[in-house]
Amino acid sequence: MKLLKFRREREDIIENEIERLERIIEENLRERIALKESLRLELSEAERQRNFKERQLMAAEGIDAEVLKKEIDEIERRIEELKDMFGKLAEDVTEAKSALINLRWMKVNSKLKPVDESWKESIRNIRVGLESSSGDNLRAVCSEIKKLSEQSRNLRLVVLEDKKIKREV
């Protein structure tokens, strides 16, 4: 009875750590989605400015044309920077969504088979690392979560294989 209670407490601790990590990643995800949206608006505005300057360039001559060409080049560089930033944010969002899915599976898998202390400590270290970095290392955290998720998936497969063997016997 005490062993069962201890196991449940351990599962609750792991589940709580996973849920705390989920909340932090969800918050980072919301921030990145908002930033992505503001970049989308800024990119749209820059493209609008470029189009306006290009129309002005058609009517301009001499020094005015040279000034407009330089302005258009600056706007083009800014558009490329925004596109790069937007692409990186899109990758971050995808990674964070994947990490959330992996965390949810880890929660399920940890209930099937108890996990060891090192696994629980890894989850805690990931959470603390993400909290202390203000989300700057989100991709690295997502990569670590993916590794842990693979470990938990392997645990689940072992449990399912054990159950299958027991049924056959």
Per-residue pLDDT tens digits for 8-59: 565 667 788 888 888 888 888 898 899 999 999 999 999 999 999 999 888 8
SS (H, E, C) the chain: CHHHHHHHHHHHHHHHHHHHHHHHHHHHHHHHHHHHHHHHHHHHHHHHHHHHHHHHHHHCCHHHHHHHHHHHHHHHHHHHHHHHHHHHHHHHHHHHHHHHHHHHHHHHHHHHCCCCHHHHHHHHHHHHHHHHCCCCCHHHHHHHHHHHHHHHHHHHHHHHHHHHHHHHC
Does the pTM exceed 0.75? Answer: no
> Would you kindly state where each structural domain of the chain is located, as residue ranges?
2-168
Per-residue pLDDT tens digits for 58-86: 888 888 888 989 999 999 999 999 999 98
